[in-house]
Each structure stands twice: as structure tokens, then as C-alpha cells.
Amino acid sequence: SFEDKQDLTREKLQELLYHHGLIPGPEGLIGGSIAFLECLRDARRRARKTRGDNILVLGETGTGKELLAAYIHDCSGRSGRFVTFQADLVAENLIESKLFGHVKGAFTGADRDQEGCVEQAANGTLLIDEFGDLPESVQKKLLRLLDKNTRTVQRMGSDKEIEVDVQVVLATHKRHILDPASGFRSDLLQRIKAGQAITLPPLRERQDDLDLLIDFFLGKAAEVLKVAKHRISAEAREMLHQYAWPGNIRELAGIIEQAALQGKHLTLLAPRHFQLPAGHIIAPPPATASPRAAAPSPVNLSGLLTQLNAVQFDAALGPALKGKYNDLEAAFRQLQIRFLAAVLRDRHRHESRSDKLLPLTAAMKWLHNTSRMDATEAKRQVARLLKGADPQALEDPYLILALAIARNELHNRNPQSDSAVSAKLASEPRLQEAYREICNDRV
């Protein structure tokens, strides 16, 4: 309905935004995509409107159903606790006791009365997660709890009915149980209002939220590892956007945590740090994907040289060319650095000498197609090229070691036969990690 402009007070406007607006959630509910914000809006509406009604939350594993249920509780204004019951994590013979409680003597070992999760959530909210795993016997008892006009439970071993004031949120990733043909109780499905479910979108449909989530979990990892927050290379970010995330946000959190741990002593995480399972690659939806630079790909060197030699600059572009010479030099230098990294990697994979940590001189000779270059000159050229280079370029493990050798901070000898080099690597985690990576890179 429309509101008269004259009747819009600050409080009224805030209320309208709360119920109808697409506003961000609290910390932990990260995202700004339309699909996610609509989900939060539906949760607020149901929590405020129903005041104790049953709410069904659907979502794939790892999408954050428990966080959304906690958000519903916070929005409900209920004074009691938010209690979670994980049906899929409790042995079937214990589900009834854990959920509804028991009286003394109800079963062997029941030496005292014990309230269940339902009573613990009195005046609050109870989340029954993966309720589709509840056995038939428990489903029957659940019916009385889901009758919002009575809301009663019976502890196991007792005939006494206990009234409870509780809001029940049920969650599952098993959409098929909503089908009448699934065998799940139809009367129970009616009471959980299966047709009015709040659906959490999977991460693959939240491309616009992925960068926010990556940044959030990088911050969490930095806190745990007690290091500066990592950055991610453009190539790695593109790779993460092209992955389908079958495990959703939970999988993303684990992948980011492992990558940060693997690159603990680096500042930039590259594709090699992210262990993504094969077979789940997607193309980002063009309508929703955030603009990102295309990932660089290998080039035909002869073709590149031909293109560079053919470039002409129009004098009429004078104002646009002003001050761009330094940018041109910097771009060419970055190209040279990537070229050097590729040559070092190739020579390391194919050189047979085992007395060197890195075939630096051999690589420089091969690069310049000359046999007249000694180790001193090779180091001098490498140091000159890498001096003041973009920190992101120097995260390559070959360049990390090459620069240390060129600066005489590290002797270019095989650490397996030189204790001084081995000790130096052990004392510098960044060098040690770079060495470990090139050791795993041999053909």
C-alpha cells in the first residue's frame, strides 16, 4: 500500500525499510546480492509477522541456514534463548530424549529428569536443523509442538503435557521431502508451511557476494594465524569465481583458511595456494557477475613481438600521451619480470645440475642466448631488473629466491648438501616456502 508523504516520520520510514527494504544483515550474514537481500527481507517479515509461527528454511549444505535462523530469532524480539538441535548429528535412539527431554527411569541410565531442547528454548526460538532426518516416531510427537495453538511436549517416559512458548524454525537441504510422494508426513509438512519456505540461495548464484565473502574469510584467517591480512592475485580471484562451490560458504571458508595457512608468510596468495576439487567449474553469469579483468593467458611470443613492432602512435593524441612514458616503461618491465620467472621455472625443471639451489646463471645465459656470462653478472642483471618491482610480481617462488641470491642474502648452493644454506632457509619462512614450492615443481 502507498503511504502519504505527510505521514512519513523517521520512525515510520525506518519501519518500512525494515519490512520492505533490501538492507544488509548483521556481521556474519555477508552479502549484498539481490537474491540474498530478498532472503533476509523474507526472514524479517516472517519473524515479525508470525510471532511464534513455524518457519521453514531451505538451503543447500553450507549456505548458512543456522545463521539465518539466528537472524530470525534476533528479529522476532523474543526474550528467550536461540537453541539449535542438529537432527543429523544425534543417534536415532537418542533423538527423542535430546529434543523433548526425559524423566527419571525413562531408559537405562536416565537417573534424573532432564529437559530437552524444546524446553530450553522457552520464550525463544528452536532451530531443528535437518529435520528430514527425524524418525517416524519423533515426527508424530513433533506434530503437537508444531500446533501453535497448543505448543505442548511430552518428555520421554511421561504422559504429562508441558506447554511451551517457542518459535520453531525447521531447516533442511533435502527439498525432496516436501514432495508428498517422499513418504514424509503430509500433516507435518502442512504445519511447517512448506509452501512459504524461506530459501537461501547457493553460493554459485551469489557471484556479486563472492568477493565480500573472500575478504571476510581472509580477515578471519589473518586473526587466527596472527599475520597481516593476505591479498589474492587477479588470477586466483578469477579462479575462485569460476568454481561452482558445491559446499557453498562452508567450503569457501575452508578453502580460504587452507590457502592462508599454506601461504602464511606471503602477502599475496596465488592460484597454487587454493586446492579446488576438479569437476566443478562454471562460467560466471554475465547478468550478475562483477566486472573483473580477464585472467592473463600464455601468448605466442613471435606474435607479441610482431604486434609491438607494428604499434604506431598518432601525434594528434598528444594530450593523452603526456606522462605515459613511465607507465610504458613499467609495463615493459613487468613483462620482462614475468619472462624471467618463466625462464627460471623452465631451466629449474630441466637443468641436471644438483649443486645449485636455483639455475640462475644458466637461466640468464639461456635467456640471452650466450655462453659468456658468469654468476656475478647474472646476479647483477637480476638484481637490477627486480629492484623496486611491484610486490605482487615478487610473490612468485622463483623470483623470491632469485632476488635473495642476487642480493647475496642467500648462497646459490643446494641446501641438501650445504648446511649454511639449509639454516638460512629454515630461518626465513618466506624463503623456505618458496624453496618447498620449487622442489615440488620438477618435471
Taking residues 253-259, report their average pLDDT.
96
Contacts of 182-189 spanning 24+ positions with Cβ under 8 A: 184/132, 184/139, 185/136, 185/139, 185/140, 185/143, 187/143, 188/139, 188/142, 188/143, 188/146
Taking residues 60-81, report their average pLDDT.
94
Instruction: Give the residue, 27 or 150, on which the prediction is more confident.
Output: 150
* Confidence at residue 316, expressed as pLDDT on a 0 to 100 scale: 72
pLDDT at 194 over 50: yes
* Confidence at residue 286, expressed as pLDDT on a 0 to 100 scale: 46
Residue 178 grid coordinates: 516436501
Dist CA 177 CA 279 (whole Å): 28
**Closest C-alpha among 221, 270, 259 to residue 395:** 270
Contacts of 73 (CB under 8 A, 6+ apart): 47, 82, 124, 125, 167, 169
Picking from 61-75, 153-167, 320-334, which range would have the lowest pLDDT averaged per residue? 320-334
Radius of gyration for the alpha carbons in the chain, expressed in angstroms and rounded: 31
For 55, 57, 211, the CA distances from 30, given in Å and listed in that order, are 22, 18, 10
* Confidence at residue 352, expressed as pLDDT on a 0 to 100 scale: 63
* Confidence at residue 188, expressed as pLDDT on a 0 to 100 scale: 86
* Confidence at residue 288, expressed as pLDDT on a 0 to 100 scale: 43
Kindly report the three-state secondary structure assignment for every residue of the chain: CCCCHHHCCHHHHHHHHHHHCCCCCCCCCCCCCHHHHHHHHHHHHHHHHHCCCCEEEECCCCCCHHHHHHHHHHHHCCCCCEEEEEHHHCCHHHHHHHHHEECCCCCCCCCCCEECHHHHCCCCEEEEECHHHCCHHHHHHHHHHHCCCCCEEECECCCCEEECCCEEEEEECCHHHHCHHHCCCHHHHHHCCHHHCEECCCHHHCHHHHHHHHHHHHHHHHHHHCCCCCEECHHHHHHHHCECCCCHHHHHHHHHHHHHHHCCCCCEECHHHCCCCCCCECCCCCCCCCCCCCCCCCCCHHHHHHHHHHCCCCHHHHHHHCCCHHHHHHHHHHHHHHHHHHHHHHHHHHCCCCCCCCCHHHHHHHHHCCCCCCHHHHHHHHHHHHCCCCCCHHHCHHHHHHHHHHCCCCCCCCCCCCHHHHHHHHHCHHHHHHHHHHHCCCC
For 66, 140, 294, the CA distances from 75, given in Å and listed in that order, are 14, 30, 41
Residue 184 pLDDT class (50, 70, 90 cuts): confident
- What domains can be seen in the chain, in order of their start residue? 5-199 (3.40.50.300), 206-273 (1.10.8.60), 325-439 (no CATH)
Residue 438 pLDDT class (50, 70, 90 cuts): confident
**Percent of the chain clearing pLDDT 90 (strictly above):** 39
Picking from 161-175, 243-257, 347-361, which range would have the lowest pLDDT averaged per residue? 347-361
Taking residues 151-160, report their average pLDDT.
90
Contact 124, 167 (CB under 8 A): yes
Residue 258 grid coordinates: 587452507
* Confidence at residue 148, expressed as pLDDT on a 0 to 100 scale: 77
Instruction: Give the residue, 266 or 217, on which the prediction is more confident.
Output: 217
Instruction: Give the residue, 261 or 318, on which the prediction is more confident.
Output: 261
**Closest C-alpha among 65, 185, 192, 67 to residue 130:** 65
Instruction: Give the residue, 193 or 206, on which the prediction is more confident.
Output: 206
- DSSP bridge pairs for 281: 243
Give me the residue label for grid cell 563472492. 210
Residue 2 pLDDT class (50, 70, 90 cuts): very low
The tens digit of pLDDT for each residue in 211-245 reads 999 999 999 999 999 998 999 988 899 999 999 99
pLDDT at 176 over 50: yes
pLDDT at 98 over 60: yes
Helices 34-50 & 65-76 angle (0-180, nearest 10): 40
Contacts of 385-394 spanning 24+ positions with Cβ under 8 A: 385/333, 385/336, 385/337, 385/340, 386/337, 389/333, 389/334, 389/337, 390/334, 391/267, 391/268, 392/231, 392/233, 392/268, 393/334, 393/337, 393/338
Dist CA 397 CA 264 (whole Å): 14
- The rounded mean pLDDT for the chain is 84
pLDDT at 25 over 70: no
pLDDT at 294 over 80: no
pLDDT at 440 over 80: no
Residue 22 pLDDT class (50, 70, 90 cuts): low
* Confidence at residue 442, expressed as pLDDT on a 0 to 100 scale: 60
Picking from 105-109, 128-132, 176-180, 414-418, which range would have the lowest pLDDT averaged per residue? 176-180
* Confidence at residue 376, expressed as pLDDT on a 0 to 100 scale: 93
Residue 263 grid coordinates: 601461504
Contact 433, 397 (CB under 8 A): yes
State how beta strands 55-58 and 167-172 pair.
parallel
pLDDT at 55 over 80: yes
Picking from 115-129, 297-311, 353-367, which range would have the lowest pLDDT averaged per residue? 297-311
Picking from 50-59, 150-159, 218-227, 421-430, which range would have the lowest pLDDT averaged per residue? 50-59
Dist CA 84 CA 94 (whole Å): 16
* Confidence at residue 205, expressed as pLDDT on a 0 to 100 scale: 93
pLDDT at 430 over 70: yes
Residue 292 pLDDT class (50, 70, 90 cuts): very low
